[in-house]
Amino acid sequence: YSSPLKRVKQTLQIAARILDFQGQIIDSEYLTTGSRLNEIINFASELDFDVGDTLVSSHQSCTSILVLWLTGEDILIPNGSLLAIDVEQPVQGAGKILWQQSQNSSDIKRATDFVDQF
């Protein structure tokens, strides 16, 4: 799934090639800049988890909201990051972050780690 905006679709095509993702790419209006929580929940609720892996490409803050809703974790997600979440059903807090990879790091940077520094 992708935001319909050009740069996000280009990012998804790069990620799909790197991950050898063979699935269909579908535009979703729920994945645009400014999407609200209820729109993101609607998007997640419509996903079919029985067909296999799902690859999602979107904008901030949509990405952070989706990750927070699925996993209950508030993490920093740099632009161009890849993030794997294990989800069996679209239920709030049911997902588990497996890994994150960005240009500079493979560490998962949880927001609570930064709050503890102050």
The H-assigned helical ranges of the chain are: 6-18, 37-46, 62-71, 111-115
Q: What band does 5 get if pLDDT is binned at 50, 70 and 90?
A: confident
DSSP one-letter code for 30: G
Q: How far apart are CA 71 and CA 86, in angstroms?
A: 9
For position 115, what pLDDT does the model report?
A: 52
Instruction: Give the residue-averaged pLDDT of 43-71.
Output: 86
Q: What band does 118 get if pLDDT is binned at 50, 70 and 90?
A: very low
pTM: 0.79
